[in-house]
Amino acid sequence: MTSTVEIQGLRRGLRASLSPPTVQVILEGPETLLAEIDPDSVQVFVDLAGYVAGMHRVDPIVIHPPNVRVVSVIPETVEITIDLVPAATPSPGTTATP
């Protein structure tokens, strides 16, 4: 199943982009359970707590229903680019109010 990779733990003042933004999750378990799995019950995320600006390769974390296991995640790592959020600049001709 294809899942979107979510971002967690990113410090304030930073923004991140992922490549690729989705991964293929291969699960194994009883056929009856696999047939009933709702794609929303499989959550994929990267924990970026402690990461700083730059390029990073991170293994996605998969949360899945009980009684099934993750066989593989394709690709195994995602490339993360973390940048500083640009500071807002006032428009020309505007003045700050006290």
State whether residue 46 is helix, strand or coil.
strand
Residue 6 is part of a domain; what is its CATH number?
2.170.120.30
Q: What is the pTM of this model?
A: 0.80
Is 28 inside a domain boundary?
yes
pLDDT score recorded for residue 86: 84
At 98, is the pLDDT very low, low, confident or very high (cuts 50, 70, 90)? low
Is 36 inside a domain boundary?
yes
pLDDT score recorded for residue 96: 54
pLDDT in tens, 13-61: 999 999 999 999 999 999 998 888 988 899 999 999 999 999 999 999 9
Is 98 inside a domain boundary?
no
Is 93 inside a domain boundary?
no
Q: 37: domain range?
A: 2-84
Does 97 have pLDDT greater than 60?
no
pLDDT score recorded for residue 4: 95
Structural domains of the chain, count: 1
Give the span between the Cα atoms of 41 and 62, in whole angstroms: 10
